[in-house]
Amino acid sequence: MKIAKDQWLGIVKDHAFIIVCGVVVVAAVVALFYPLGALSSRLRGRMATELGLAQQAQQLGRTPISLPERKPFSGPVTPAIIQAKKQAQADLRAQASRIRRLVQRHNARGRVQFAADGSVLPLLMGVPEKNLLPQASSNLVVLADFRRAYERIFTRRFAWRNPQGWLKRLDAAMAPTPGQIQQILAHRLRAQAQLEGAVRPETGAGVSSRLEPFGNFQPNQSSQATGPSARLLAEVTRQVVFHTAQHCRIYADLSCFQERSFVQSDILPNVDQIYDAFVDTWLQNDVVNAIAATNAGSANVTQSPIKRLISISIGPDSAGQSSGMQNNFTSFNSGASRGADRPRIVGNGGLLVYGAANANQPATPQPPTMPAAGALPQMPGRPVMPVGGAMQPMSTMPPTGAMPRMMGRAPMALPGSPALPGLGSPSGGGVLLTGQASNARYQVVVMSIRLVLEPWAINRFIQELYRQNNGYTVLQIPTIHTVDPVEALTSGYVYGQVPVVRVNIVVEDIMFSTWHGRIMPTDYCQKCGVTPPPPGP
């Protein structure tokens, strides 16, 4: 064993150099080839990253950079470009603020006047009224002057001749009433009898006793009437009806407008009543201007796109009437016209739309009123003809909310007009279709406009209304009723040869608090969350 060990040691000594070189070579080979793959992989990844960054840098250098209101340029993003972008954003914010102020100022056009001292004066038919809002003046003379100015708008003595009055601007006229036609007819009969020397003592001044009962007469039934009085009545009726149509552009009277109830009281109005009156006149004046612009250039009502203004209602309750809009014809058989000497009187308040919990609950539409068994379909203001019987007196008007049928046809719903939700009020209700309700930034008021017009004129009227103020938005046109020309003629309305419809247009108006909050009474400000401004400028 010892010999073998010595032999191995000898061999190692004799070949030590070769063994050392072999170990070194093996170590070198292992050291050279073992990490090469990982190192190569890392190197390739780094090269790809650097290449991607270089390509991105080249792309950024070629990409055009656009800044608002500046010419686009190409080049790398530098701190100067970043600063220019920040400045452009600041300029846009400033521009948006200027536009907002401009819109809000135009929203006050025709409603308030900005005085030199910074105060806001509400306008009543274009005339600034001082010392009234937000706190009504204790000066009784000022309050009395305002009341007289407000009443003057609706006083018949001034309404038809006042150049600034609504009826004068519309070039409006009332459809002739039975009483007017009776007076003309009695005058002609007296004149004819005096010429013929045939005035009988038993008639004397009461010539009308020779006439057939007027309540059973219709102009289109003249062929059924007999006697000279009936023939003269038919002739006079036609002359008066068509003469009126030739000398006006639209049928309207004071009953079309809305007036606040403080005019019926001996007590001077308070600040809330004055505020309600201002808002009512602002919106109604815009409607009158829009109608006048739509009918501009028409020779008479037969050529006018808008034939008749039925009514203007303002406040959340006005939109609720859309589901039961009544025909509202004034027929010859209904006697005198419905309060044409006075506008529609409404109570205090009930003006703005407020948010509420039940905002999404739609109003329930009322079913149409069906005619009684055995009777022809009844129009409000027309008699009922039972089968096999004589003509009976006109029955009462349909109850509020009932939807009458037009000549046996149900009213048509405008496509795309959903049921109008219940509107907000101080005692409850909801918000509008637009989701807006009065708040600290703006206040919302609803208006319902009932018109008889040619179908194509609906959009034209809406455009003209939008031109009056930038706060208007049409919510919906819930129903369109076709108008029977015979029924219209028997009611004293000549609409021409073009078919017309009767519509109810529900709109909302927004008044910004930047100017409106300055004149709102304290209780209105509290309901809307508006901070009441201090008195004075």
Report the C-alpha gap between 418 and 86 in whole angstroms: 46
Cis peptide before 455 (omega within 30 of 0): no
Give mean pLDDT, residues 202-227: 40
If you average pLDDT over residues 506-520, what whole number do you get? 93
Q: How many CA atoms, within 13 angstroms, populate the side-chain half-sphere of residue 143?
A: 18
Q: Mean per-residue pLDDT for 493-507? A: 93
Q: Where residue 248 falls among pLDDT bands split at 50, 70, 90?
A: very high
The torsion angle over the Cα atoms of residues 223, 226, 230 and 232, rounded to 10 degrees, is 80
Q: Report yes or no: 447 and 515 within 8 Å, Cβ to Cβ.
A: no
Mark whether 210 and 338 lie in a shared domain. no
Under the banding of pLDDT at 50, 70 and 90, the label for residue 350 is confident
Q: Is the confidence at residue 484, as pLDDT, over 80? A: yes
Contact, 327 vs 481, CB < 8 A?
A: yes
Measured distance CA(382)–CA(260) in Å, rounded? 31
Residue 466 lies in a domain: yes
Closest by alpha carbon to 521, among 273, 185, 149?
273
Please give the residue range of the domain that contains residue 499. 122-171+248-365+398-528
Q: Which of 212, 240, 268 is the C-terminal boundary of a domain? A: 240
For residues 209 and 328, membership in a common domain is answered with no
Tally the domains of the chain: 2
* Residue 157, helix vs strand vs coil: helix
Res 91: pLDDT: 86
pLDDT digits (tens, 9 = 90+) for 378-418: 333 333 333 333 333 333 333 333 333 333 333 333 333 33
Q: What is the average pLDDT score of the chain?
A: 74
pLDDT band for position 458 (cuts 50, 70, 90): very high
Instruction: Looking at the structure, tell me whether residues 481 and 502 fall in a common domain.
Output: yes
pLDDT of amino acid 432: 58
Q: Range with the lowest mean pLDDT among 172-176, 405-409, 412-416, 504-508?
A: 405-409
Please identify, among 240, 262, 279, the residue that sits at the C-terminal boundary of a domain. 240
422-432 confidence digits (pLDDT tens) = 444 433 444 55
- For residue 41, the SS3 value is helix
Q: What is the dihedral of CA 458, 464, 465, 466, to 10 degrees?
A: 110
Whether 24 is in a domain gets the answer no
Instruction: Tell me, yes or no, whether 130 lies in a domain.
Output: yes
- The pLDDT > 90 percentage for the chain reads 27
Residues 153 and 209 occupy one common structural domain: no
209 and 345 in a single domain? The answer is no
- Output 324 or 229, whichever has higher pLDDT: 229
Q: Which residues contact 329 (CB under 8 A, 6 or more apart)?
A: 379, 380, 381, 382, 487, 488, 491, 493
* Domain edge (last residue) among 200, 217, 240: 240
For the stretch 72-106, pLDDT in tens is: 766 666 787 778 778 888 888 898 889 988 898 89
Identify the pLDDT of residue 180: 76
